[in-house]
Homo-oligomer: A and B are copies of this chain.
């Protein structure tokens, strides 16, 4: 079958998308086993089963690969925020989602890449700027939703106060990522109860 021009374009786009995915999957494995510094483009190209030259068609280098991971996470968070925004009571929805969100961040492997990116951000200003930009984007989305939820309940929505409470909420989840490294045997069900106490306080108190 002869492809039309548009079909050909779409198929090229899909192929490029798949190739990018192939590189990202390989990079995630290599960063996990050797660290961002330790993993070379040669190692990533071997794991991806593509020549290094071919990879450079899709990514300028390791920084560009990290940028793609950061962007992926922004999109993932945006989808979560989109769902939350549809809820009648977004504050209650955050509390209801704690179980699932705690279980997610306690999955083995989930924290490997973020920890690698944060460690790298602490010494690489380009990575730091990228991660900070992404974080600001996600925080701003969450703040909008919490302001909406609090306004519906007639509560104060002072921006600086809400921003600090969001910092603490994110710290709770990001901190769990290091807790599971340091205490792999933690009691997830009881941690969920304790998380609910802490998040209720920052979310619900005036």
Residues of chain A whose beta carbon lies under 8 Å from any beta carbon of chain B: 32-38, 111-112, 114-116, 118-123, 128, 131-132, 135-136, 139, 160-161, 163-165, 167-168, 170-176, 178-179, 181-184, 186-187, 190-191, 193-195, 197-202, 205
Q: Which residues of B contact A172 (CB under 8 A)?
A: 168, 171-172, 175, 198
Distance A131 CA – B179 CA, assembled complex (angstroms): 11
The answer on a CB contact under 8 Å between A131 and B187 is no
CB distance from A92 to the nearest CB of B (A): 17
User: Smallest distance from the beta carbon of A45 to chain B beta carbons, Å?
Assistant: 19
Distance in Å: Cβ of A203 to nearest Cβ of chain B: 10
Residues from chain B with a CB closer than 8 A to the CB of A168 are 172, 191, 194-195, 197-198
Return chain B residues, CB-CB under 8 Å to A132: 182-184
Select A119's contact among B35, B171, B202, beta carbons within 8 Å.
Answer: B35
> Given A160-B190, A191-B167, A191-B168, are A121 and B198 also a contact pair (CB < 8 Å)?
no
Contact at A164–B179, with CB atoms within 8 Å? no
User: Most B CB atoms within 10 A — which of A121, A167, A170?
Assistant: A167
Are A194 and B170 touching (Cβ within 8 A)?
no
The reply to whether A202 and B197 contact each other, CB–CB distance below 8 Å, is yes
- Indicate if the CB atoms of B119 and A115 lie closer than 8 Å: yes
Using known A-B contacts A34-B37, A118-B181, A174-B178, determine if residue A186 contacts B164 with beta carbons closer than 8 Å. Answer: yes
Given A111-B122, A161-B190, A163-B186, 16 more pairs with CB closer than 8 A: A35-B35, A38-B38, A114-B178, A116-B119, A118-B182, A131-B181, A131-B182, A160-B187, A161-B194, A163-B187, A164-B193, A164-B194, A165-B194, A197-B205, A198-B201, A198-B202
> Which B residues touch A131, using CB under 8 A?
181-182
